[in-house]
C-alpha cells in the first residue's frame, strides 16, 4: 500500500508539474515576456520521460494534455471577451467556449506526447524527437480545417528582436522546432551524465547562434526611399457594439472622416481604416451619389487611396445574399468615391465568421454567434492588389495574419511580389489586455518572414507601421484605448527572404533530423528512457 500511495503521489506531482510547465511556456509569450518560462518545454519533456511504466502511452498523453491546458489557458483566455459584447444574450457561453477551446487545443499536445513516449530513444537524442513531434503537431494545428496557429512556440520571441529574425529563413514553424530543441535539452541535463551536459551546452550554443544571427541581420537596415508613399493609419478608439442605430452610425463615420482630415506636414498617399470601420455594407455607403460616399470623397485628395475593411453582399437582391468580409481601395470620384481594388477574405474564423456543420449548428443555436446572415463566404486565394501609382500590396484581414507563408503563396501564383502588407483587423472583439498585444506580435512575424513592411489598422489598438524586420519605431504604433493617427513614409521592402522563396522547406528538413531521436524498432518492446 505504501508503494501504491507513493506511486499516486508521484503521478499527482508529475501532473501538476506538467500543468505548470505549459503555463510557464505560455507566459513566455508577449505581452508577459517571461522568457525563463521557455524552460517549461524541458520540464514537460522531463515529466513525459517519467510517465507511469504500467501505462506509459496513456500517462504521456495525460501529461501532454495537461501541459497543453496550461499553455492554452494562458494564451487563449481572451476568447471570452467577444461574448460580453452582447452580454445579455451570449455571456453565458463564455466559460464553455474557453473550456472547450483550451481542452480541444490541448488534445494536440497530448497526442504529440503519446507519440514521443512511444517512439523516443533512450539517449539524449530523444530531444530531437520531442522537438519534432511537438513542432509537427503545431503545424497540424495551423492547418486542420482552416487552422488556428495562435501563439506558436517559435513566436514566443518578441517580433523584431534578434531571435525572431531566423523566421526570415525557416518561418515560424521552423523557429518553433529550434526553440523547442534548445529548451528541451534541460530535460536531459540531469541524469544523462556527460552526454546530458554536452546536450545542454549545445542548446546554449544554439541560443547564442540564434541571437547572433539576428544581431547580424538587424545591423544592415535598408535605406529609406525619399519617394516612398506617405501613409496615414487611423485609429478612432471605438468599442465593438452589439447594435448600431443611425446616431451611432453618423458618429462613427464623422469620426473617421474628421481624423482622415487631421492636419499633417505632408498629405498622405494612402489612408487605412480598419476592418469593419463603418457599420454598414460597403456597397451601400460607398455607392455613387450617396451622402456617405460624397462625404468620404470630400476628405480625399485627387491621388489619395483609401483602404477600408468591411462586409459586402455579392447578390443583394437574392433571398440569401452571399456575404464577404472584404477590403476595398477607393479614390475620389465625381459622385463620391470609386472602387479601384477589392480583396475578399479567404481564411475565415470558425464559429466567428462561418459555422462548420452549418445545419447542426443552427439547431443547437450556435449560429447566433455569426451576425451576418448565414455567415461569410471565403473569397479566392489571396493575390497581391495592384493600386494605380502605388507599390503592389497584399491585404490580410484580421485572422489571416496568423498564417505563415500566406503572403508569398498568392504572389507566386501570379509572379508578382508585393512591396508591403496591409492588415486590417477588429481587435475590439478581444477586449483589453493580452489578446490585441499578442495579435500585433504575431502579425509582425509575417513582416519578418516575407521581408516586407506592414501597415496595420484596428479600431482600438494595436495599430502600427512595421518595418521589414518586424520592428516598430517610436511613435509608429497606437496602443489599446488610444485615439490618433500615424503618419509616416512606407518603410522599404527587403530582398526576397529565403522563407519567401522556399517556404517551409527548412522546417521539413528539421523534421527529418528529428528521426534521429526515434528508438530502433528492435528495441520497441522496452518502455523508453524512463523505464
Q: Is 345 one of the annotated active-site residues of the chain?
A: yes
Residue 95 CA to its chain's centroid (Å): 23
**Catalytic member of 138, 275, 400, 480:** 275
Residue closest to 153 by CA, chosen among 144, 162, 143, 167 = 167
What is the residue whose three cell numbers read 530531437? Answer: 128
DSSP code for 226? T
Question: Which H or E run contains 196?
Answer: helix 193-218
**Catalytic member of 155, 345, 367, 400:** 345
**Catalytic member of 398, 419, 450, 480:** 398
Measured CA to CA, the distance from residue 80 to residue 82 in angstroms comes to: 6
**Cis previous bond, 31, omega within 30:** yes
From edge to edge, which strands make up the β-sheet containing 454-457? Answer: 393-397, 420-424, 454-457, 463-466, 477-478
**Cis previous bond, 44, omega within 30:** no
Q: Which residues contact 519 (CB under 8 A, 6 or more apart)?
A: 119, 120, 121, 122, 526, 528
Measured CA to CA, the distance from residue 354 to residue 377 in angstroms comes to: 8
Residue 63 CA to its chain's centroid (Å): 26
SS3 349: coil
Q: Is 397 within 8 Å of 443 (Cβ atoms)? A: no
Sequential DSSP letters for 102-126: HHHHHHHHHHHHHHHHHHB-SSTTH
Measured CA to CA, the distance from residue 94 to residue 58 in angstroms comes to: 30
Q: Is 419 one of the annotated active-site residues of the chain?
A: no
Q: Is 276 within 8 Å of 328 (Cβ atoms)? A: no
Measured CA to CA, the distance from residue 293 to residue 343 in angstroms comes to: 19
Residue closest to 367 by CA, chosen among 349, 353, 377, 355 = 355
> How many CA atoms does the CB half-sphere of 446 hold within 13 Å?
31
Phi first, then psi: what are they for 435, rounded to 5°?
-55, -60
Residue closest to 490 by CA, chosen among 466, 473, 469 = 466
Structure-block grid coordinates of residue 38:
521557455
Measured CA to CA, the distance from residue 302 to residue 48 in angstroms comes to: 64
Q: Is 480 one of the annotated active-site residues of the chain?
A: no
**C-alpha separations of 43 from 50, 72, 419 in Å:** 11, 17, 43
**C-alpha separations of 309 from 342, 352, 425, 442 in Å:** 10, 17, 8, 20
**476-482: long-range contacts, CB 8 A cutoff, minimum separation 24:** 477/440, 478/233, 478/235, 480/432, 480/433, 480/436, 480/437, 481/237, 481/432, 482/235, 482/237
Catalytic (active-site) positions: 275, 345, 398
Amino acid at each position: 500500500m505504501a508503494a501504491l500511495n507513493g506511486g499516486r503521489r508521484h503521478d499527482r506531482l508529475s501532473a501538476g508539474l506538467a500543468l505548470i510547465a505549459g503555463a510557464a511556456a505560455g507566459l513566455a509569450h508577449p505581452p508577459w515576456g517571461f522568457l525563463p518560462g521557455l524552460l517549461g518545454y524541458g520540464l514537460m519533456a522531463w515529466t513525459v520521460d517519467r510517465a507511469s511504466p504500467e501505462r506509459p502511452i496513456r500517462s504521456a498523453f495525460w501529461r501532454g494534455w495537461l501541459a497543453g491546458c496550461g499553455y492554452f489557458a494562458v494564451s487563449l483566455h481572451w476568447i471570452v471577451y467577444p461574448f460580453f459584447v452582447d452580454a445579455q444574450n451570449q455571456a453565458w457561453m463564455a466559460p464553455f467556449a474557453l473550456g472547450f477551446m483550451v481542452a480541444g487545443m490541448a488534445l494536440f499536445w497530448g497526442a504529440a506526447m503519446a507519440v514521443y513516449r512511444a517512439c523516443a530513444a533512450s539517449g539524449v537524442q530523444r530531444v530531437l524527437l520531442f522537438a519534432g513531434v511537438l513542432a509537427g503537431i503545431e503545424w497540424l494545428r495551423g492547418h486542420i480545417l482552416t487552422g488556428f496557429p495562435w501563439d506558436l512556440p517559435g513566436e514566443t520571441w518578441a517580433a523584431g528582436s534578434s531571435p525572431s529574425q531566423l523566421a526570415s529563413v525557416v518561418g515560424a514553424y521552423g523557429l518553433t522546432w529550434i526553440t523547442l530543441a534548445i529548451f528541451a535539452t534541460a530535460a536531459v541535463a540531469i541524469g544523462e551524465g556527460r552526454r546530458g551536459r554536452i546536450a545542454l551546452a549545445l542548446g546554449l550554443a544554439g541560443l547564442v547562434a540564434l541571437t547572433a544571427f539576428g544581431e547580424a541581420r538587424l545591423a544592415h537596415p535598408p535605406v529609406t526611399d525619399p519617394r516612398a508613399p506617405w501613409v496615414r493609419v487611423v485609429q478612432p478608439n471605438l468599442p465593438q457594439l452589439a447594435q448600431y442605430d443611425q446616431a451611432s452610425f453618423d458618429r462613427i463615420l464623422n469620426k473617421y472622416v474628421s481624423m482622415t482630415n487631421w492636419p499633417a506636414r505632408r498629405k498622405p498617399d494612402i489612408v487605412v481604416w480598419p476592418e469593419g470601420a463603418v457599420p454598414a455594407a460597403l456597397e451601400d455607403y460607398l455607392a455613387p451619389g450617396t451622402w456617405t460616399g460624397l462625404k468620404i470623397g470630400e476628405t480625399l485628395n485627387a491621388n489619395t487611396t483609401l483602404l477600408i475593411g468591411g462586409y459586402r453582399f455579392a447578390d443583394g437582391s437574392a433571398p440569401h445574399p452571399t456575404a464577404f468580409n472584404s477590403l476595398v481601395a477607393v479614390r475620389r470620384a465625381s459622385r463620391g468615391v470609386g472602387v479601384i481594388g477589392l480583396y475578399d477574405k479567404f481564411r475565415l474564423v470558425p464559429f466567428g465568421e462561418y459555422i462548420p456543420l452549418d445545419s447542426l449548428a443552427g439547431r443547437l443555436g450556435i449560429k447566433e454567434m455569426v451576425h451576418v446572415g448565414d455567415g461569410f463566404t471565403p473569397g479566392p486565394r489571396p493575390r497581391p492588389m495592384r493600386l494605380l501609382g502605388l507599390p503592389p500590396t497584399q491585404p490580410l484581414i484580421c485572422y489571416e495574419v496568423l498564417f505563415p507563408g500566406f503572403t508569398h503563396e498568392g504572389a507566386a501564383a501570379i509572379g508578382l511580389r508585393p512591396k508591403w502588407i496591409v492588415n486590417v483587423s477588429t481587435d475590439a472583439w478581444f477586449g483589453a489586455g493580452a489578446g490585441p498585444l499578442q495579435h500585433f506580435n504575431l502579425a509582425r512575424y509575417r513582416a519578418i518572414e516575407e521581408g516586407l513592411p506592414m501597415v496595420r489598422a484596428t479600431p482600438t489598438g494595436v495599430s502600427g507601421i512595421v518595418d521589414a524586420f518586424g520592428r516598430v519605431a517610436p511613435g509608429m504604433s497606437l496602443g489599446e484605448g488610444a485615439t490618433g493617427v500615424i503618419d509616416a513614409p512606407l518603410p522599404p521592402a527587403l530582398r526576397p527572404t529565403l522563407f519567401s522563396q522556399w517556404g517551409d522547406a527548412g522546417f521539413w528538413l528539421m523534421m527529418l533530423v528529428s528521426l534521429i531521436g526515434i528508438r530502433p524498432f528492435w528495441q520497441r518492446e522496452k518502455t523508453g528512457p524512463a523505464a
